[in-house]
Structures are given as C-alpha cells and as structure tokens.
Amino acid sequence: MADWDALSSTMNESVVGVLGRDVVYQSRNPGAEPQTVKGIAEPAGPETREANSTAMVLFLQLSDMNETPQERDTVTIGADTYRVWQVEVDRAGGVLLGIRRE
C-alpha cells in the first residue's frame, strides 16, 4: 500500500523547489532570527477576500523552518510585510498560512 503522506511530502518539496520564491520568515518569539525559506504565495480565495483585501495564503514546508509557524509571526515577500493570522499544518509536512499585509 502506498504511503500517501510520504508521497505528498515529496511532491510538495518538488513543487516548492520549482515554483517557490524566497520569503523572509520572522517568528514572534523573543530572540528568534529571521530566516529565508522558499514558499508559494497567492491571493486568498473568495472565502477570505474582501474589497481591497490584502489577504494572501502562503505554503511552506515545515522541514525548512527553524520552528513551527504561529499566529502573529511576520513574513516579508519582496518589499511587503505580512502578519500571520491563520496556521494549518498538514500530515505531509506542509503548512498553509493565512497572511495579511501590514
């Protein structure tokens, strides 16, 4: 029988490696250093989109992170800084973050 979690993790790593871009992740924990990781960001879906919304979703691999992301951490993508407001960890080692521009 296939190990779907392992297969999904391998696929996620490949997709992030090809389609991901560098983002700077900053934990809200005191003394935490910012880290550059690859992630895939896109505008949030209609369930979170409002008029003039700055909401996005960001997919990262937990294996790339120094610690598990949490609400109120920050992410810099290009020149824009976002605040994490939602964290969803999956069984295959990925994490989907709801983020909003500050």
- For the stretch 30-40, what's the b/e string if a residue is b when 16 or more beta carbons lie within 10 angstroms of its beta carbon? eeeeeeebbbb
In DSSP terms, 74 is beta-bridged to 26, 83
Residues 40-81 have pLDDT tens digits of 998 876 655 555 568 899 999 999 999 999 999 999 999 999
Considering the chain, what percentage of its residues have pLDDT values greater than 90?
63
CATH 2.40.10 for the 4-101 domain, yes or no: yes
- CA 89 to CA 95: how far, in whole Å? 4
pLDDT of residue 53: 60
Check if the beta carbon of residue 65 is closer than 8 Å to that of residue 37.
yes
Phi, psi of 11 (to 5 degrees): -65, -45
Considering only CA atoms, which of 41, 55, 60 is closest in space to residue 101?
A: 55
Q: Stretch 19-23: mean pLDDT, rounded?
A: 93
Instruction: Assess whether pLDDT exceeds 60 at residue 31.
Output: yes
pLDDT of residue 2: 72
